[in-house]
Each structure stands twice: as C-alpha cells, then as structure tokens.
Copies of this chain bind each other. A is one copy, B any other.
Amino acid sequence: MKRAFSKLAFPKYTKPEVLTEIPGPKSRQLLKEMDLLQETRTINFFMNTAKSQGTYAVDADGNVILDVFGHIASLPLGYNHPAMAEAATKPEWLPFLLQRHALGVQPPEEWPRELRETLMRVSPKGFSEVMTTCGCGSSANENAFKAAFIWKRKRERHSAEPTREELLTCMRNEAPGSPQLSILSFEKSFHGRMLGCLSATRSKPIHKVDIPAFPWPVCRFPRLSYPLEEHQRENREEEDRCLTHVEDIVHSHPIPVAGIIVEPIMAEGGDHAATPYFYQQLRRIAANNGIAFIVDEVQTGCGATGRFWAHDYWQLDNPPDIVTFAKKMQVSGFYLKGEFRPAQTYRIYNTWMGDPLRMLQLHVITNVIEGENLLRRVSDTGSFLKMELERISQEYPFLVANVRGKGTFLAFDTPDGETRNQLLFEMRQKGVQIGGCGENTVRLRPPLIFDQQDANILLETLQTVLRKFKNHSVQHKSVPIK
C-alpha cells in the first residue's frame, strides 16, 4: 500500500485582503442553504480551506483574514502547515484514513508507540498514565470525572470491589451504587456541555438553562485587580477569601466532593486566572481532604501560554491528579496518576476510545512545536503583544482595560458586551478575526505560529477601530472598566 509524495504548493499571505463585507455574498448564500438544515447564526463566514495558509483564513468570497481566534483556540499550527501536509501524504497515514479502530479491542500495532512517543513525550510532570477519549473536551472531562468518582468510592469503602448492594442499586440509579458525590467548580468556569461536565460549567445561563443538572457546589473564583504588581495585597486577600469558601464547601456541602476542577485560565468565562499561590493552596486542600485535583487544560494546553501546559507556571510540589486535554491537541483525553486507573475493566471505555488519525496529527504538531521552537515564539510574540496592548490600554483607557494572560493567550476588557461585539465585528470587516468571552472580554487565540508581523497587523487594525470608536458613537457610553 503505497502513496506517492506530492508537490504541495501553498499560497502565502502577509496581510489581510478584504474584498467584500464579511460574511460576503457567497457566505451569505451558504448560510441560507445551511439554515434549512440547522442553526447558523453563530457562523462568521465559510472558508475556502485549501486556499488558507499560515495565520490567514481565506473565506468563500476570497477575503484573506488574519485568524486570531483559531477555531476557538483549536488550531495549533495555522492553516495547511507544510509539515502536516508532508506527513498526511505519506503512506503511513493511509490505513488510518480508511478505517477507525476500536482501540479497546483491536488497536493498531503502532498505538503503544504513539501513546509513548507522542502523548507521553509531552506529558505534564508527574504522570505515567494517559487515557484517550472520543474527540472533544467534554468527553475528556466527563471521563476524568468518572475516574475521580471511581477512585473516591474505592477509598470510601476501602476496597476496589463494589458491594453486591452497590451493583444492584446502581441499575436503578439509586444510592449506594449510584453515589451522592459531587465535583466542585468555580463561578464562570467552562468544562464542557455534556450533562456531567455541564453541571460543573458555570459560564453563561444560556449554556445551562432547561437542562437537568447535578446539585454540585460552585465556589467564588478570585477576581484579581490589574496590573498585578500594583495590587498584590488586595489580590492575596481576594484569593484567601475564595480559598476559605472552597474549604467551607469541602467540609459542609451535603454532597461529598470527589473532585475539584479548575482551568489555569478560565477562558470561556472571561479569561480570568489567579496567581500560582491560589492553585498551590487548592492543590493542598484537595490532597488534605481526599479529593481529586483535576486541571482542565482543554483550552490552555498545547503551548499557547508559552509553556506546553499552563499549570506548569504554578510550580506545584505535588502534581495534579488528572489533567484533561483536547482542542489544539486534536486528540482528547486525560493524564492520570496510577491510583486513578480503575481496578476493573470496561469502566472507562467506549467504542473508539480515541483516534489514531488524530494521534498522527498530534505527532506532527509536537514535532513542529519542538523543531520550530514555537514555545519560544509564543513567549516572544506574546510579550510584545501584551506590552503593546497595555500601551493601547493607556491610550484608550475607556475602551481597553485589564490586559492579561500568558504567551499569546491574551485578553482585555471593553466597557460592555455591545461594544465588545461591535469591536469584533469591525475588526472582522478589516480582515482580522478575533473571539469574545465572558461578558465584555476580547480573547486572542492565534495559532502557535503567530509572529510579530502578525501581531503588528492585529495591533494596527485594533488601533484603527478604536480611533473610529473614540471619534464616534461608542465614546459617549464609555465608562472606566473595573
């Protein structure tokens, strides 16, 4: 089974080129066709994927758009990266394009090596085990919760073997077999949209309303004041207040807490983060109370903060119990400490149990991150970008505030949601695609290859739009941002 290498000729873009409104007439026609079949109002434009390249998306109307949103932070190497194209046309990929394995029954012989040389090669410190799940971040978090519950019950009954009563009652969804256990999460957190992880998600009402939820506890998350170095004392006090709230819940919530889940940067909820001190204390509280400490790196993982895993910044003595991943990794799943591997088979299991094809993609991604020294690029570009955004924030204090983040995983606040949405719209019309999060926040999620030239285009476009806002209707409603 052989496949010829092919010559791949990619276009090359160095700046946005806007020919039409965005979405243009072709995208609007496609929206109309698609809306017959499903919801389309969240779509910004349709892509000509083959013509896209690097940090530039080309849309159906031929507009060339600098992509600083990266498919909701899931695009690691930009479009049509030559290394990915070369790998994808190798004969070794073909078997994984033509069928998909049930990895828990008949995995390909390459699978143990790929687990070892791809996923374990980039493992966070302190882990020797990893599980892959079926594709999305939700499946990673749901299975991480299951591992935490199974581990917790094993501890509680001092045995890995469920009792006869537990085996009987779980079939009726009743205790003790279906136990009263909870996952503690934080206000504004986002952990996915399946019914388990949606019970931990606290981002926006429209994500949750009308869907039954487990009565799990929610805790305040520190809201820090910026710049951090000028607000150290009050930020520490804020973090201590939230930690006290965590301890209160752990000791008094009617449903025992099996796991605490936290994002290194609470992305969907508005790009909020605490200082390493907060996470170190959280880790300590979890360990002292027999609670699994789960770090959700679905959005922060895979390099965008300048380190491969964002929780690496915390410098924990005792690593997390579980770290979940998806998005830029293409593969979804979680790293776990050995004690979280269930004693019995078929407990954390499903048909596909992962995807060898996505693993091959991740293999290329990790090679490129290493070979092109992308973590360094992310750090350098991010430092420059953050500095310039802070300068812009000083120039437009009523429009841009609270610049924050690590690497190119950056965000800033605008006065309100309407202004933010208008800003995103105007940027898009000038050929720069960015995303929002929280109520009034702009989040930058470029691919890891985003460089200073890209950053300059982003910054120039932003200033053009801000100037227009300042000179027109937006100004009158601007207020200082807290």
Contact = CB atoms under 8 A, between A and B. Distances in A.
Interface of A: 1-10, 26-27, 30, 33-34, 36-39, 41-50, 52, 57, 59-60, 67, 69, 71-75, 79-81, 84-85, 88-89, 91, 93-102, 104-109, 111-113, 115-116, 120, 128-131, 134-139, 142, 145-146, 149-150, 152-154, 162, 166-168, 170-174, 177-182, 192-197, 199, 202, 204-216, 218, 326-327, 330, 341-342, 344-352, 355, 357, 361, 433, 435
Task: List the 8 closest A-B pairs by CB distance, nearest first.
Answer: A195-B196, A135-B135, A134-B136, A71-B102, A49-B95, A178-B213, A173-B213, A167-B205
A106 B71 contact: yes
A95 B46 CA distance: 14
30 contacts: A1-B80, A4-B4, A34-B111, A37-B120, A37-B130, A43-B106, A45-B106, A46-B111, A47-B106, A49-B95, A57-B106, A71-B102, A71-B351, A71-B352, A72-B351, A74-B102, A100-B330, A105-B435, A134-B138, A135-B136, A137-B350, A142-B195, A146-B193, A177-B205, A181-B212, A193-B350, A194-B195, A194-B196, A195-B197, A206-B346
A351 to B, nearest CB: 5
Contact of A50 (B94, B181, B202): B94
A205 B1 contact: no
Contacts of A26: 109
Contact of A130 (B33, B38, B102): B38
Given A37-B129, A98-B85, A192 B138 contact: no
Give the number of times this chain occurs in the complex, counting copies. 2
A358 to B, nearest CB: 8
Given A6-B3, A10-B1, A166 B130 contact: no
Given A57-B106, A139-B134, A196-B195, A98 B120 contact: no
A109 B46 contact: yes
Given A4-B6, A153-B210, A206-B347, 15 more contacts: A33-B113, A34-B115, A42-B349, A43-B106, A46-B109, A49-B99, A71-B352, A170-B205, A172-B218, A173-B199, A177-B208, A179-B212, A180-B212, A195-B195, A206-B346
A97 to B, nearest CB: 4
A44 B134 contact: no
Given A1-B50, A135-B136, A196-B194, A128 B349 contact: no
Contacts of A75: 99
A93 to B, nearest CB: 8
Nearest to A207: B346
Contacts of A98: 79-81, 84-85, 88
Contacts of A179: 210-212
A263 to B, nearest CB: 14
Contacts of A36: 128
Contacts of A89: 3, 94
Contacts of A111: 30, 34, 46
Contact of A39 (B37, B194, B197, B345): B345
Nearest to A199: B173
Nearest to A364: B98
A108 B51 CA distance: 11
A134 B194 CA distance: 11
Contact of A162 (B2, B146, B209, B347): B209
Contacts of A361: 97
Contacts of A199: 173, 195
Nearest to A210: B153
Nearest to A120: B37
A366 to B, nearest CB: 16
Contact of A134 (B91, B134, B168, B433): B134
Nearest to A173: B213
A97 B81 CA distance: 11
